Amino acid sequence: MLQPDNSDYSEIYSAYVAGTLDPAFSLMVATQAALRPSVERAVARAESIAGALLENETPTELSDGALDRAMALIDSIEPEKKDVTAGVMQAGNALNEIFELPEPLRSSALEACGRDGWRALSSGVKRLNLDTGSESTAELYRIEPRQMVPRHSHSGEEYTLVVAGGFSDEAGHHIAGDLCVKDAADTHQPIGDDDGICYALAIRNGGLKFTGALGLIQRLIGQ
């Protein structure tokens, strides 16, 4: 599934606007909106609809001190501001590339660089574990030109947003802004384009199941 119509995700956009969307998927929506004007417009439409519905609601009188209590609650759950200094120092050769990524993905990637750093998956392929506060796994992949992510299937759903560059797999060619959706029935092997580095944001609600030698190692270590 290469690039579903925006209407397919109207509920996701509505949840994003309402602030009820899973944090990992919120990161995905915000990043794709920064890359694709059509997604940005879809989010704006969801905001307009939500605003119109709110205007039609019957106002409810607030109790004394309600505003102060609400602001205190917001302060208590607001995520701590990330110190990206460590990320800046440790991002290495990919630092300039990361600074080219759209926000809020850029800050999340810098924070992850300072916390855990990149981990090699295969030759020319690295991944960065992003802390989104979600139960879903969020990873940023860096795929060098003509390098391959090991062939794998999935134990759940995987949403992969191409952020920069592009890659090809069994479903076709995916470029920046494209969303590639896979489920447990899909097996694929992404291959980076030959004209530059590919960055891809992957959100999964299950693990990867590798094939071949890597799959054998994965089974032997019980992952």
The closest alpha carbon to 126, from 116, 134, 136, 135, belongs to 116
C-alpha distances (whole Å) from 41 to each of 45, 101, 181, 210 are 6, 20, 21, 37
Q: Cα–Cα–Cα angle for 71, 76, 77, nearest 5°?
A: 105
pLDDT-derived band of residue 179, with 50, 70 and 90 as boundaries? very high
Task: Give the span between the Cα atoms of 221 and 93, in whole angstroms.
Answer: 31
Phi-psi region of 118 (alpha: psi -120 to 50; beta: other; left: phi over 0): beta
Query: Which pLDDT belongs to residue 1?
Result: 38
Token couple for 114 = 């300072």
Residue 113 has pLDDT above 50, yes or no: yes
Amino acid at 74: I
Q: Is the pLDDT of residue 144 over 50?
A: yes
Please, are residues 180 and 168 in contact by the beta-carbon 8 Å criterion?
Answer: no
pLDDT over 60 (residue 116): yes
Instruction: Answer whether residue 85 shows pLDDT above 70.
Output: no
pLDDT tens digits, 188-214: 999 999 999 999 999 999 888 777 655
CB 68 within 8 A of CB 75: no
* 2: nearest Cα among 141, 175, 220: 175
- Topology at the third CATH level for domain 1-223: Jelly Rolls (2.60.120)
Mean pLDDT across 156-161: 92
With a CB cutoff of 8 Å and minimum separation 6, the contacts of 131 are 108, 111, 112, 115
pTM: 0.74
DSSP 8-state symbol, 223: -
Residue 61's pLDDT is what? 61
pLDDT in tens, 17-67: 888 999 999 999 999 999 999 999 988 887 777 554 445 555 556 566 655
Residue 28: its H or E element = helix 23-35
How confident is residue 178, by pLDDT bands cut at 50, 70 and 90?
very high
